[in-house]
Amino acid sequence: MPKKGKGKAKNTANKAKHSKLMARKTNKVALEKVKHKERLKAIIKQVNDLKKSEDIL
């Protein structure tokens, strides 16, 4: 009967790569959400400024 605990643990390299890729993916999605919110805020501010300038005239 073979002894346990010999050799390299199975699949550790792939698990590490997968964890790294999944972390990269979640960071990318979060960054995209933040950028999208900033773009929307900029557009809303631009429209509001335009409305204010029209009200003054």
- Residue 2 is predicted with a pLDDT of 56
Asked whether residue 20 is assigned to any structural domain, the reply reads no
The total number of structural domains in the chain stands at 1
27 lies in a domain?
Answer: no
**pTM score, whole prediction:** 0.62
14 belongs to a structural domain: no
Tens digits of per-residue pLDDT, 3-30? 666 666 677 778 889 999 999 999 999 9
User: Which region, left, alpha or beta, applies to residue 5 given φ > 0 means left and ψ of -120 to 50 means alpha?
Assistant: left
pLDDT at position 56 is 75
